[in-house]
Amino acid sequence: METKLSVNVNKIATLRNARGGDVPNVVQVALDCERFGADGITVHPRPDERHITTQDVYDLSKAVTTEFNIEGYPDERYMKLIADTKPAQATLVPDPPHVLTSNAGWDTKTNEALLTDLAQQFKEQGVRYSIFVDTDLQNIEYAAKSGVDRIELYTGPFADNYKNDPASAVKDYVTAANRAVELGLELNAGHDLNLDNLRFFKEQIPDLLEVSIGHALVADALYFGLENTIQMYKRLLK
């Protein structure tokens, strides 16, 4: 099974915002990513708009023809964006506003009531519902109880440990993925996956449906070019 590649364009917006104006143009880059082979576009519009802005979300929702995935914490602003744009997928992260990047999964037992209520809202809107989780089996089991469609495995620890011991680094992810599939959950993954570790992760998690990659892919594109880089990542996912 070929795993889909969703390109996170947050860093394109970061580059634009560093200078002001509209260069690079986030919508045009997203369309080019699709043209170059991306299966989807991901954004994470944080409240301080330090990269993707609210307007970017609306503009992209009108332009993206592959799967549009909006990440974020389910506050009032985020839920309005989902209701207005109805993306293919809403991916919930437990981030408070000040964090630099998503670096932890949901405590799904503690937040079961919230996550269950959101499941009904997303179902009514026709939006696929995914949440960011670690490899703790209890978190995966309560994710299933809450009615989510997918989990996105937080792969930061895997990436940190991959160079030292790949087999050990991926072990808990294999166990978590198998348990998720047993419970009827679909699988995504993301965070610090790159050209060095992606093929190995994919080979160990055969049921992986989608990866979301932004920072590493954009950094690689500085050397290899965007079109070539997207194709390099796609080849690793076949």
* End-to-end CA gap in the chain: 7
Using one digit for the tens of pLDDT, what is the confidence trace for 21-63? Answer: 999 999 999 999 999 999 999 999 999 999 999 999 999 999 9
Superfamily, domain 4-236: Aldolase class I (3.20.20.70)
Condensed to tens digits (0 to 9), the pLDDT of residues 138-149 reads: 999 999 999 999
> Which pLDDT belongs to residue 33?
98
CA distance 172 to 153: 11
220, 50, 100, 47 alpha-carbon torsion, rounded to 10°:
-140
Q: How many CB atoms lie within 10 A of CB 33?
A: 27
Residue 184 has pLDDT above 70, yes or no: yes
Write out the catalytic residue numbers.
Answer: 44, 71, 191
Written as one string, the DSSP assignment of 125-143 is: HT-EEEEEE-S-HHHHHHH
